[in-house]
Each structure stands twice: as C-alpha cells, then as structure tokens.
Chains A and B, each alone.
Chain A
Amino acid sequence: MATKQPINDPMVDPRTGEYAVIAPGHNFKSVTQKIAGLVLTSNTPLGWFFGLMVAGGLATLVAISVTWLFLKGVGIWGVTMPGAWGFAIINFVWWIGIGHAGTLISAILLLFKQTWRNSINRFAEAMTIFAVVCAGMFPLIHVGRPWLGYWLFPYPNTMNVWPQFRSPLAWDVFAVSTYATISVVFWYIGMIPDFGTLRDRATMPLARYSYGILSLGWRGSTRHWIRYETASLLLAGLSTPLVLSVHTVISFDFAVAALAGWHTTIFPPYFVAGAVYSGFAMVLTLAIPIRKFYHMEDLVTLRHLDNMAKVMLATGSIVAYGYGMEVFMSWYSASHWEFFMMWNRMFGPMWWGYWILILTNIAIPLTTLWSRKLRVNVGYLFVLSFIVNIGMWFERFVIVVTSLYREYLPSSWGTYVATKWDYMLFIGTWGLFTCLFLLFVRFLPMIPMSEIRMMLPQTKINRRGPDAETVIEETT
C-alpha cells in the first residue's frame, strides 16, 4: 500500500509502506526491561493515583445503588409493564459485547497467525474479564432476589426444583459462566511465563514471593514451552466458537421471544458483529491513553491502531447490514406488527434513540474509517471509540426499549423512563471497570513479554549460516 509518510520515518517499513509492529532497535532485554519495569518500579505515577481516586469514587456508586436496590427491590429502577427489561439488560449486553473483542484478539487473531496482536492481546483480555465482571453483575442483581442467584444453576436441592433447559435464559447462565471461566483461565495461563520474568527481576521480597507463587515455578523449559503452546492454541481454538456462541445465546434471549423487533433470525450474527465492533472501540479507548502515558508507542504502534480501525470498519459494516436488513424485513415480511415496530422506532416518541444510533454507529464511523489518514490519527480514533460505544449502547437501548413499550395491544402501551438509580449503577460500572483496569496496569504485565520476544528479529536461527559453519569447523 502506498504511503504519504516520509520515507525516513523509522516506524515505516520502506519495502511495504506499512507501519512496523515493533519499533526497530529493540532486543530481548530492552522489551523485558520496558514492560517489567512498569510493574516492578517503586515509583507509581501520580496520575495513576489520581485516576484510581476518580474511578474509585465512581465505583462507590455501584456499592450505593446496589445496597439501595437490595433494601428496596427492583422497583427503584424504571422497569415496569410493558417495559419490563430496562437498563439492566441493556448494560449487560453492552458490557459483555465489549468483552468480546478481547477474546477475538487473543483467540481468533492467534489462530490466523496475526502476530501484530501480541502487543495488545494481554490488555484486551484483561478488558474482557473486567467487562464480564461488570456485565455479570446485572443479571444477578436484576433477578429481584439476588441472594437466591444460585438457583440458576442445576444443583440437587430439598425443593426438588431444577432449571428449565428449553429457556434461553438458562442457556445464558451456561454461556456466560463458561465465558467468564475460560477467559480467566486463558488470561492467567498467558501470564505464567511473564510472572516468571517478574519473579526473577523483582527486587522487593513481597513482589518476588507473590510473582513466584503466581508463576507456579515456571522456568522456561523447552518441553514445558511446547505443551504450553499447544494448550494456548487449543484454548484459542475453543475460545473462538465460545465467543461466537456467547453473544448468539444472548441474542436468543431476544430472538426466541415472539415480539416484533426481537423475533428475527438475523440477531445472532448481527449481535456478534456488534459485540466485536464495540469491543474494538473499547480496546482503542484503553490502548490510546496507555501507549501515551506509559510511552508504549514503540510496542503499540500506529500499525495496531490502523488494523483495529480496519476491524471496526469491517464489523461496523456487518452491523449496518443488520440494521438495513431489519428495515427491509419489516416491509418484506408484510407483517403489520413488524412494520409498525419499525415505524415506531424511527418516528415514534423515542425516534431520537434510533437516529442517535444511526448517526454514531453508522454515519460517522463508516464514512470516515475508509481514510488511512484518519485511521492513523490517534486523537480522531480516541474520540471515535467513544462515539461507537455510545452508538452500541443505543443499539441495545433501541432493541430493548422501543420493541417493548408499544407492543401488540395499544391498551397496554406505556413508556420507559430510567430513574437516577439506573444511571447511578450504569455510571458506577464505568468506575468499577476503570478501577480494575488501573490495578491491572500497575500490578500485572500489560503486554505479554514472551510473545513480544518471539516477534524480534533476533529469534531467527541461521541453521546453515556462516556462524554455524565456523563453529562446527572449530569444534570438529
């Protein structure tokens, strides 16, 4: 691809015109020192404390609103008939969708041997786990009696009651709990060699012991590495169908219901594409400040940002196709209810939701991301990542609220108004997510060191090269 960048830019490969994945001049030691240094330093940047304070302050909103919810019940939320699903489900789907990009980066891109993903996969996986933490909270607290949440699981009990496996909500329990478990295991397994590095480089005894235990005694043995690589590939191969199934099952929560606007076969692919779309936007939201504050521009390069923007362009186009197909089917189905639902979405009392969605999810990103100049414009991508995530939140809002509040019988029409508790809890989860992420970048290696080492030119083994020949001659 042709480039307009000056040819003497060290970050651009002169042969291909692409940005480098790692800045030239790095070796095994320098990448290790750079990444391990962020964790092992005793100087925590002041900005980190400030960020943790702000995020922690927001996270207390979760504690306050959940406590009040437990005392008063779900009546403090805006949910009522006919809008029985409100913010809790919107936020659940939004957060879990964000998590999906982490799995996509760590699993699918690994299977496709996209080595550029090595720099961003660790914090994308961390993002997945923290997003699942935020997402998983909502179904648990919206059941009304959250202290009985374990009733969702099949376990022998004195009531002789068991889950009902023909319901998508029961499938959801299996899908989301499997997703959370496998994501945590995949993340931890990926960090074991890096914990070994941290153990060996730590100077403070507490750090040495903690990372030593976390590393499980990793010593880089070749036989271990081969089994480790096999297990990583298998986990990637398993996570790929898993991530597709999780959002498919979530879309079944809607699609199985006989409600205009939900009862459609396009939901599974369009939900998965939307999830990846919002997830990549969130990776950009996180990666851009991190590479700036921690001076990671030589490991998370413009190549990564460009590639992520391309993935957003692709998944965003699938989402746009989904929206188009919904509109088309509401006409082509010749169903009065489907037609009314779409008309009501576009021009009913909540018309603004639909048009914000079209503007932020389709109009702005899908017109601008075609330009390479904008795809490598860090400031623009940062703003765009917020726009897309707002858009993806409104997508779930439109699906949940505008399908429900004017259902079949006009006599039962109502409206949906979120209360301050809905907003508090939602904003609180941003704080919780940011808090967890800040703790992660401080105490865990945010870029996989062993995988970065594999991308360096020094890994090339010159089997028949001049060095090997001379060594053999000298020794025989």
Chain B
Amino acid sequence: MPRREGIYGLLAEFNTPGELVHATEEARRVGYRRMECYTPYPVEEAAEALHFHKNRVPLVCLLGGLMGVTTAFLMETWIAVWAYPLNIAGRPLFSWPAFIIPAYEWTILFSGLSAAFGMLALNGLPQLYHPLFNAPNFRNGATTDKFFLCLEATDPQFSPAGTRNFLEQFHAVSVVEVDH
C-alpha cells in the first residue's frame, strides 16, 4: 500500500457545470486519466467526459434478486414438503403456486438490498475521511453550488506546476493543492 502523504491532487473550482465539463474533456484529451469531478447533483455530461459509462450496480442487483428467489422458493419447498408437511384442505405438499408470492417478495427484498448496499460498496462508502475534505473550499461548495475537477497526483502526467498551469487556463475560480 502506498504511503499516504504529500500531495493528493490539484482541485479546480468552477461556477457552472459547463465549465467543469469543458475542463474535464480537455484534461482527458491531453492525456490525464486519474481524475474525478465533484458536483452537487449528478452531471451526466461529466461522467461522459470522464469516459465512465458502465457500472456494476445492475449486475449486483440481478445476482441479489436471483439469490432471493432461489432462497425463498427452496426454503418454502423444504419446509412444506420435508420439514413440516401439513395437509391443508387436501392440497399437494408441493403447492408451488402459493410459494410464488413469498418468493416474489424476497426477490425484491434481496435485489433491493443488493442494489443499495452494492452501490455503497462499489463507491467505497462509508469512508468518513477523504483528503479532499482538507481543501478549504471543497466542503463549502461541492455539496451546495460549486463544481470541482480534481487531477490526482497518481496520474503519470501529473506535475504540480504543469498541471496547475493546465488547470488555470480554464478560468477556474481557484486551483488549490490538496494534501493527504
């Protein structure tokens, strides 16, 4: 694990989503890859500029749903046929149409929980500490009304002075260095 010290990245602040998307597209064009946008609401154009198209939340959700339906249906069958067979008005022990309803509910329960917690896990949340919270202007704006682009120091193209020059050409409100 790399030592967490020194500079995390350079953080540029913008007033509008348009400026952010433009700067991100340009950064991508000149070869930056390790970068991230921070916005107060989802900006799809920023994700496109980052070339972030696919995510695995739907897959996790599908797997959860399949697990839910199998678990519930097998459990009901096992209980009704083997563990506790009861004669209910002469119906067959394996009355599968009746088992569909709890299985349906558990499909939704498991897939919903997988979507929610899978999303958090893929996002690496909860993560109460993050270097960006050290930036003086980040918390004032990123969750309210400002748009940020962070070019991270782990990018091979990154150099404190060169990257700063690159970011400043986009008329950012500010470009600040963020430490770990």
Contact = CB atoms under 8 A, between A and B. Distances in A.
A221 B37 contact: yes
B115 A235 contact: yes
A175 B145 contact: no
A334 interface: no
Given A164-B88, A212-B128, A222 B17 contact: no
A223 B33 CA distance: 13
A333 interface: no
B61 to A, nearest CB: 5
A32 B98 CA distance: 49
A417 interface: no
Contacts of A4: none
Contact of A234 (B57, B144, B145): B57
Given A219-B142, A228-B119, A461-B17, A166 B95 contact: yes
Contact of B47 (A181, A222, A241, A467): A222
Given A161-B84, A165-B102, A228 B47 contact: no
A471 interface: yes
A228 B22 contact: no
A216 B102 contact: no
B113 A174 contact: no
B111 to A, nearest CB: 6
A39 to B, nearest CB: 14
B133 interface: yes
Contacts of A468: 18, 22
A474 B36 CA distance: 24
Contacts of B39: 220, 222, 225
Interface stretch (B1-9, B73-81, B155-163): B73-81
B31 interface: no
Contact of B140 (A174, A200, A228): A200
B45 interface: yes
Contacts of A181: 109, 112-113
Interface residues of A, number: 74
B41 A451 contact: yes
A245 B76 contact: no
Contact of A213 (B45, B118, B128): B128
A356 B94 CA distance: 45
Contacts of B57: 227, 230-231, 234
B106 to A, nearest CB: 7
B104 to A, nearest CB: 6
A8 interface: no
A219 B79 contact: no
Nearest to B76: A165
Interface string A159-200: 011111111001100110110011001100100110011011
B37 A222 contact: yes
B130 A219 contact: yes
B95 to A, nearest CB: 5
Contacts of B47: 222-223, 225-226
Given A164-B88, A217-B125, A471 B112 contact: no
Contacts of B101: 171, 174-175, 245, 249, 252
B55 A238 contact: no
Contacts of A218: 125, 143
B36 A189 contact: no
11 contacts: A29-B145, A185-B116, A193-B41, A196-B143, A217-B127, A223-B36, A231-B57, A231-B115, A450-B42, A461-B18, A474-B169
Given A199-B139, A223-B50, 5 more contacts: A29-B144, A166-B91, A185-B112, A234-B112, A234-B115
Interface of A: 27-29, 32, 154, 160-167, 170-171, 174-175, 177-178, 181-182, 185-186, 189, 192-193, 196-197, 199-201, 212-213, 216-231, 234-235, 238-239, 241-242, 245, 249, 252, 450-451, 453-454, 458-459, 461-463, 465, 467-468, 471-472, 474-475
Interface of B: 16-19, 21-22, 26, 36-47, 50, 52, 55, 57-58, 61, 72, 75-76, 79-80, 83-84, 86, 88, 91, 95, 98-99, 101-102, 104-106, 108-109, 111-113, 115-116, 118-120, 122-123, 125-130, 132-133, 138-140, 142-145, 169-171
